[in-house]
Every structure is written in structure tokens, then in C-alpha cells.
């Protein structure tokens, strides 16, 4: 029984602004954790460089999307406040205040820690001033042959208007005599230019690089013959890249999205990054030309656009990278058995990247080639380039299957890629649709209809991640293969709604947004509260990428007040504030950031010993619950549910290597092992310990029954 006698907070009290962490500031804390991975000497050196690159590319996207959105709110003079009570102006100021020192800290770490460590491993990043005469001569030859032909200097004077500065572009502001010119650094060339260096047998792997903008700056006289080039200064521009869609006004959605993608490069400037050495008059010239204010300028003492250091990860230095591993291939595929037969025997759950994504590729390929398969229907959100999934869908059409594909054209930064696939699929005869007006289709569903002796049978793949064979190697996700009739019926209803007209909004198994997913999650939380009041054993474990929806947060606060024990594993943004006396004392929030991107969404409800678990595509964010087509699907097999609880969720909650815990004040502190114990890395553990072991030799053996327990040191 629940012996909590404290009076629960009222609905109004649960809306108080101090109970919520600002989502933008929470995101900055997430990216700070990415930076922490770069500082962690558990990782090989080039993996630490990779994390610096990820930090920077994450930051670029945040500025182009989130910061741009806040700036739009300021410009429109909207009076709406964020759940934590801040105006748009206050959010903008707080974000700038948090970002400036963090960005500089990254440069200091690069200079003071990473560069010396790389030098020790015979990898040198040199400034142009450090090159000897022979190396400078080599760089001049490289400039003449590789760089000079693709440069376009643009003068700025009474006869030449200030040029358009494209998004994400790195540029040089060049002072030529009394005039000014802009030179764009070609994005098609390597940012780090190899420099010839003396080799010896002891250091045969020695390599050196110099930044391309420094090579250009040192040879500018060739671009402006007859003029005195006095000085040059690098600068970088980020623009608003969030496409504003008015879909109901578009007669052809594909052409409309194409145009919006083209227009993205003309979005309003959000950030101008410069070095401290740039003089005030050059800064003012850029600010005026870009039509922004000094508040939009970021001063960075170090390289601009450091996402390009990812180029170093391609070096052939395996000892400086993670030890590669081969994803497991389920035994039912290893023996070349019929995949449909295996799925008929039981539901199959896989854990990527530890289990090979080739199982998913094989599922679609087998359907394309099987003469008994009649229909394939699939959602595609992000599939990447050279997609084997799309290749199989095209093959299916050639084999006279009926193929219907929903290609989500609005997948941010994948729009161009998806447009190309949509056109190719349509050209081949695939029925292609682009989703519902006003909604993004984020659900991950593939439905195959097959003719069998007993009649038509539907086979399903339901996942938490994208149908992208490349990212599946580094994204942690779960997926379910099933032929259960109720799942098949729900998938049919869903695809009918996506490709045609349907007012049916009830499903047997699935929770589907925006219709009933929010309501379903809230009702499950409320049931946990009522059961806890009766039996005192309430338990919730949610794993997701982000938690920012105020209604869901309030439901979790209510569960905590009732005494329900709640563990949240949230990789990114979390607006819930844990450990608030009388409100969230029973809630713990952890974030896992490591070698693989934690991407699966898992929702565990204790249900008085009869646990329910849902997996799916939806985070608990307003956009996911209100303006996306999302699915959560239940795990019906008891053994699979027990495996997910004890060998996935509890294993991750035991992590003391990759985990950080959210504090009352919004900071994250690393979770450390107990004294005398070694750090426990759940991701490393999953590489050597399968979550599920599926063996067809014994039809009575269910998945997840042959895995050793987590070591006691965990």
C-alpha cells in the first residue's frame, strides 16, 4: 500500500515554471555531454576527434533550426512563454550566454589536449606559419593546381553589391588596397590539406595537414594580381534552415518541397562566426551586408566550422580507433532458412547495431523475390544513399508485386535525398505517396502480404529506427518481426489512412499519433498510479531521445507524487526536473552518450507484475505527439518482455561508463562505479552478450533464454 501522506500538488501547481527545464538549455547540456566523450581517454584518440566533430555538427543544426526558431519568435513579437516561463528574448539571451564559453572551451581543448596527443601519434595539424620553405612551395603548387581554378573572388564596392553568403559557408574577408572582397572556401575540397613531411623508418606513419583557408590566405596575391592584399580574415555564416511549409496551398507537394529546399540557402542569417583578430570595421561591414546585429556575432578563438575534423577519422590508423566488431546474424538467417517460416514460428526481436541490420534488408529482399508475396507497403523517413531497401522495392515492382511506399519528403536535411528516391520509385511504377497534410510520417513500418496454403498472411517489420543501412551501424535501435493477425490488421488500417482516406481511428494493438498515442501513454501512467495506490509496487521505465511535452511531464510528476518509482533514460533534451521535494522525488533521469547513438524508444509499465512494454518511433515531445504520424507497438511475448526489462533496461541503468544523471539544478553529473569496481559499459557489454538468441533447432526455445546475467560488478 502507498503510505505517502503528503498532499499531492494541484494541476495549477504542476504548471509552475520552476518545475521545467528549458528545452534549448537542456539541448546545450546534451551537446556538452558529447564534448565530454571527446575528453574521455577511454576512447581511442581518433574517436575523441570524431566526438569533437559531432559536437560541432550538432551545434550547427541547433543554430540553424532551434536558435533560428527562437529568433523568429523574437522578430514576430510573440508573447508566448516557454514552459519554464521565459520569453523568446530571455531564451535567446540565455542560449547565447551558455554557448559562447562552451564553444571556446572546445577550441581550448583542441589546442591544449588533442593537438599534442595527435602530435605524439605523429599526426600534425600545422599553422601555415609553421611550414618550412619546401612545404610552402608544395602548398603553392597545390593552390595553383587544385584550389585556384575553383575560386571566385567577389569585390564589394559601389559597382558590386554585397554578395550572397551561402549557408554553412567558410569565407575569407579580404582587404585589397582600400577595397574589400569576399572569397569563398570551396566546400568540395578537403578542409585539411596534406603537407609533405620527411619520413623515416621509425615514424613511417607520420602525416601533417594545414587548414585550407590558411593556404588560400597565403596565396591571395594570385587572385588579385596588381593589387596589394593587405590582410584577410576567416568568417562563417549559418542561416535559418527550418523549412516553413504551407502544404494546403501546394498543388504538387514534391515540387513544393523541392522549391523550399532551394530557398533554404536564402534563409535569414542566424549566426556570424569570426576570429578575435578581425578588426571592428570589417565586422561592421559584414554585419551590415548580412543585415544582422552584433548580438548575432560569435567570436571564436580557433578554427571555425570544426565539424570538418571528421576527415581525420579516415586515416588508416586502426590502433587509434574503436576496435571494429561484426554484428551478429540471427541463427535463422545463418543457415539460409526461410525468413517467413521463422517469423511464423514466433515474434522475433532484434537489437541493432549488435544484431545485423542485414536481417531487415533480407526481409524486404526476400519479399521482392518470393513468388507468393503479393504486396509490399512501407514507410521511408531516412534511407540514405545507395539504399539496399529501395533497390529491393524496385526489384519487387519488376517482379510484378504491388508496392506502395510513403516517402516522407519533410525529413529535415534529407529532403533532397528523399525527393530523388521518390522520383526513382515513381518512375519504376511504385505507388508513392508523401504523407498527410500538416503531418510528418515518422513511423517505421513495413507490411508484406503473402499467399499461403491457409490463405493470405501479413508479415510485419516494426522498428524504432530508420530503414537506413548506413546509420544502422552506429544507431542503437530495436525492431520486431511478427505475423500476428492483430498487428497485420492494424498496419493495414494505418497504410489505408496514409495512402487513401480513412476516418477509422481505433487500433487493436498499436498506439498511433496524433490520434491516440498521447492518450494511451497518459492512461497507462494513470493506471500505474491507481495500481500503486492499491499494491504499492508502481514502476515506470521510459527510454527515449527526448522528453519535453508538458502534459506527459505533469503525468509523470503525478505518478511520482503517488509514490511510483520512475527511471528515465533520456539521451538528449529533458524538460522534467527531478528530485523536486514533494513533486519528483521518485524520478531519476539518466542520459547515455557513448560509441553508439542511443536511439530506441522503450516504454515499460509495471502493471502490478503483469508488465506491458511498448517500443516505437515516438519521443515524448509535442511535435511527435501532435504533428507526426508515430507508432508504439506492444511486445506480447512474455519472454521478450522479461528480456527487455532485465537485459536491456536494467543493464543500461547499471551503466557507470557512459551515464550521466540529471540533477535538480539542470546539470548532469557522471555516474561513477562504486569504490573498487571497474566502470560498466553497457554498450561494450551488448557487443559480446546478445540481447536475444534465436535458435530454430528447438521450436520451443524462445528468444532471450541463453544469455548470461550481467556481471555483479555492474
Residues 111-144 as b/e (b if ≥16 CB within 10 A, e otherwise) read: eeebeeebeebbbbbbebeebeeebbebbeebbe
What are the cell numbers at 696? 530454430
User: Grid coordinates representing 297?
Assistant: 556575432
**Alpha carbon 377 to chain centroid, angstroms:** 25
Residue 709 to residues 39, 174, 651, 691, Cα–Cα distance (Å)? 31, 64, 10, 11
Residues 542, 532: Cα–Cα separation, whole Å: 17
Other C-beta atoms closer than 10 Å to the C-beta of 555 total 23
Place of cell 509514490: 563
Q: Round to whole Å and give the CA distance between 436 and 445.
A: 16
Of the candidates 352, 442, 524, 599, the residue annotated as catalytic is 442
Grid cell in block for residue 361:
534488408
In whole angstroms, give the CA distance from residue 681 to residue 700: 32
Q: What is the largest CA-CA distance in the chain?
A: 88
Q: Which residues pair with 668 in a beta bridge?
A: 662
Alpha-helix residue ranges (DSSP H) falling in 196-354: 212-218, 253-264, 280-290, 331-334, 339-345
Contacts with 60 (C-beta within 8 Å, 6 or more apart), sequence order: 168, 238, 305, 307
Q: Residues 6 or more apart from 524 whose CB is under 8 A from it?
A: 603, 605, 612
CB 172 within 8 A of CB 234: yes
The reply to whether 442 belongs to the active site is yes
Pairing of strands 297-299, 269-274: parallel
Give residue for cell 512494454. Answer: 613
3-state secondary structure of 574: strand
Query: Cα 590 to chain center, whole Å?
Result: 18
Distance separating alpha carbons of residues 406 and 97, to the nearest angstrom = 42
Active site residues: 442
Amino acid at each position: 500500500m502507498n503510505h505517502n501522506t503528503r498532499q499531492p500538488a494541484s494541476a495549477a501547481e504542476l504548471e509552475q515554471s520552476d518545475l521545467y527545464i528549458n528545452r534549448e538549455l537542456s539541448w546545450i547540456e546534451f551537446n556538452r555531454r558529447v564534448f565530454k566523450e571527446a575528453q574521455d581517454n577511454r576512447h581511442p584518440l581518433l574517436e575523441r576527434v570524431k566526438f569533437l566533430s559531432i559536437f560541432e555538427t550538432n551545434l550547427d543544426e541547433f543554430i540553424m533550426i532551434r536558435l533560428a526558431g527562437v529568433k523568429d519568435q523574437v522578430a514576430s513579437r510573440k508573447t508566448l512563454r516557454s514552459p519554464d516561463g521565459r520569453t523568446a528574448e530571455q531564451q535567446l539571451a540565455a542560449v547565447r550566454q551558455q554557448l559562447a564559453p562552451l564553444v571556446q572551451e572546445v577550441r581550448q581543448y583542441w589546442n591544449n589536449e588533442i593537438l599534442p596527443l595527435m602530435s605524439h601519434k605523429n599526426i600534425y595539424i600545422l599553422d601555415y606559419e609553421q611550414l618550412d620553405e619546401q612545404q610552402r612551395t608544395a602548398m603553392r603548387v597545390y593552390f595553383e593546381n587544385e584550389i585556384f581554378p575553383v575560386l571566385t573572388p567577389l569585390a564589394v564596392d559601389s559597382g558590386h553589391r554585397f554578395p550572397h553568403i551561402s549557408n554553412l559557408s567558410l569565407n575569407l574577408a579580404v582587404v585589397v588596397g582600400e577595397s574589400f572582397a569576399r572569397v569563398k572556401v570551396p566546400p568540395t575540397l578537403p578542409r585539411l590539406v596534406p603537407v609533405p613531411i620527411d619520413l623515416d623508418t621509425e615514424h613511417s606513419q607520420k602525416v601533417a595537414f594545414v587548414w585550407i583557408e590558411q593556404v588560400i590566405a597565403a596565396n591571395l596575391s594570385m587572385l588579385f594580381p596588381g593589387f596589394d592584399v593587405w590582410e584577410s580574415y576567416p568568417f562563417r555564416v549559418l542561416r535559418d534552415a527550418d523549412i516553413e511549409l504551407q502544404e494546403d496551398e501546394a498543388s504538387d507537394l514534391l515540387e513544393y518541397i523541392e522549391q523550399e529546399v532551394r530557398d533554404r540557402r536564402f534563409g535569414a542569417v542566424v549566426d556570424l562566426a569570426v576570429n578575435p583578430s578581425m578588426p571592428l570595421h570589417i565586422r561592421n561591414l559584414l554585419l551590415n551586408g548580412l543585415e544582422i546585429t552584433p548580438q548575432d556575432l560569435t567570436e571564436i578563438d580557433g578554427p571555425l566550422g570544426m565539424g570538418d575534423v571528421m576527415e581525420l577519422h579516415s586515416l588508416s590508423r586502426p590502433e587509434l580507433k574503436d576496435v571494429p566488431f561484426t554484428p551478429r546474424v540471427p541463427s535463422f538467417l545463418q543457415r539460409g532458412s526461410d525468413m517467413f517460416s521463422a517469423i511464423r514460428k514466433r515474434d522475433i526481436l532484434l537489437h541493432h547495431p549488435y544484431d545485423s541490420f542485414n536481417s531487415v534488408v533480407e526481409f524486404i529482399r526476400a519479399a521482392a523475390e518470393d513468388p507468393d508475396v503479393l504486396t509490399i507497403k512501407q514507410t521511408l523517413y531516412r534511407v540514405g544513399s545507395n539504399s539496399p531497401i529501395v533497390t529491393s522495392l524496385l526489384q519487387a515492382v519488376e517482379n510484378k508485386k504491388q508496392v506502395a511506399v510513403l516517402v516522407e519528403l519533410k525529413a529535415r536535411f534529407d529532403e533532397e535525398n528523399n525527393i530523388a528516391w521518390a522520383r526513382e520509385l515513381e518512375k519504376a511504377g511504385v505507388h508513392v505517396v508523401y504523407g498527410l497534410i500538416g503531418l510528418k510520417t515518422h513511423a517505421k513500418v513495413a507490411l508484406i502480404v503473402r499467399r499461403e496454403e491457409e490463405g493470405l498472411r501479413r508479415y510485419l517489420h516494426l522498428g524504432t529506427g530508420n530503414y537506413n543501412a548506413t546509420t544502422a551501424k552506429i544507431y542503437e535501435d530495436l525492431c520486431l518481426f511478427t505475423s500476428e493477425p492483430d498487428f497485420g490488421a492494424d498496419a493495414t488500417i494505418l497504410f489505408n489512412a496514409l495512402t487513401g482516406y480513412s476516418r477509422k481511428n481505433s487500433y487493436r494493438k498499436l498506439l498511433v499519433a496524433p490520434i491516440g498515442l498521447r492518450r494511451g501513454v497518459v492512461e497507462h501512467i494513470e493506471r500505474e498510479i491507481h495500481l500503486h495506490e492499491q499494491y504499492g509496487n508502481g514502476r515506470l521505465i521510459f527510454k527515449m531521445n527526448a522528453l519535453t511535452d508538458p502534459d506527459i511531464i505533469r503525468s509523470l510528476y503525478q505518478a511520482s507524487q503517488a509514490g511510483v518509482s520512475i527511471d528515465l533514460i533520456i539521451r538528449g533534451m529533458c524538460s522534467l526536473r527531478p528530485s523536486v521535494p514533494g513533486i519528483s522525488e521518485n524520478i531519476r533521469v539518466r542520459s547515455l552518450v557513448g560509441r553508439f547513438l542511443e536511439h530506441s524508444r522503450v516504454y515499460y509499465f509495471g502493471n502490478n507484475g503483469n508488465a506491458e512494454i511498448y517500443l516505437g518511433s515516438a519521443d515524448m515531445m509535442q511535435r511527435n505527439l501532435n504533428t507526426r504520424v508515430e507508432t508504439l507497438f506492444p511486445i506480447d511475448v512474455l519472454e521478450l518482455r522479461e528480456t527487455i526489462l532485465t537485459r536491456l533496461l536494467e543493464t543500461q541503468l547499471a551503466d557507470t561508463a557512459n551515464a550521466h544523471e540529471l540533477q535538480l539544478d539542470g546539470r548532469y553529473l557522471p555516474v561513477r562505479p562504486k569504490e573498487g569496481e571497474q566502470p560498466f559499459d553497457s554498450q561494450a557489454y551488448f557487443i559480446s552478450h546478445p540481447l536475444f538468441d534465436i535458435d530454430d533447432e528447438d521450436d520451443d526455445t524462445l528468444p532471450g533464454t541463453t544469455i548470461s546475467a550481467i556481471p555483479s560488478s555492474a
